[in-house]
Amino acid sequence: MIDLCEQEQLVFLPWAPIQETDRKVPVAVAAERHGVTEHQVVLAWLLAISPQILPIPGTGSPAHAEQNIAAASVELTPDEVDAISKGALPARGRAGAMISGLLRRLAGTPAN
């Protein structure tokens, strides 16, 4: 799905990306290494994956908003991004591939 958004120069808005990914071991390891929260690592990971991803995290307080903003300055290593990506929601990855295929057919774009 992200590849298609990059190809078509579209923005991808992930729906509730933190709810399931923040409990993964690679996220916890990266959070400890960088001295930030797991939520901040997930936001940093989303930003590192592609410039087409525009996460819009919810916030319930000014302090939480500041944490969300600070996540943009967390610089994950390529190994951290890869480890988090490998463990992140494989079921959604399959769903994304199905949606991507459907969008390609609707747009008349050939598959990769």
Q: How many distinct structural domains can be found in the chain? A: 1
Residue 53 structural domain = 2-107
Contact 52, 2 (CB under 8 A): yes
Please tell me whether residue 107 adopts helix, strand or coil conformation: helix
Per-residue pLDDT of the chain (112 residues; tens, 9 = 90+): 777 778 888 788 777 667 666 678 999 999 999 999 999 999 999 899 888 888 888 888 999 999 999 999 999 999 999 998 887 654 445 445 555 555 556 666 565 5
Contact 51, 23 (CB under 8 A): no
82, part of any domain: yes
Structure tokens at 7: 């190809």
Return contacts of 19-24, CB within 8 angstroms, 24+ apart: 20/89, 21/45, 21/84, 21/88, 21/89, 24/84, 24/87, 24/88
pLDDT of residue 92: 45
73, part of any domain: yes
112, part of any domain: no
pLDDT of residue 14: 76
**Residue 56, domain CATH:** 3.20.20.100
User: What is the rounded CA–CA span in Å between residue 78 and residue 65?
Assistant: 26
pLDDT of residue 6: 80
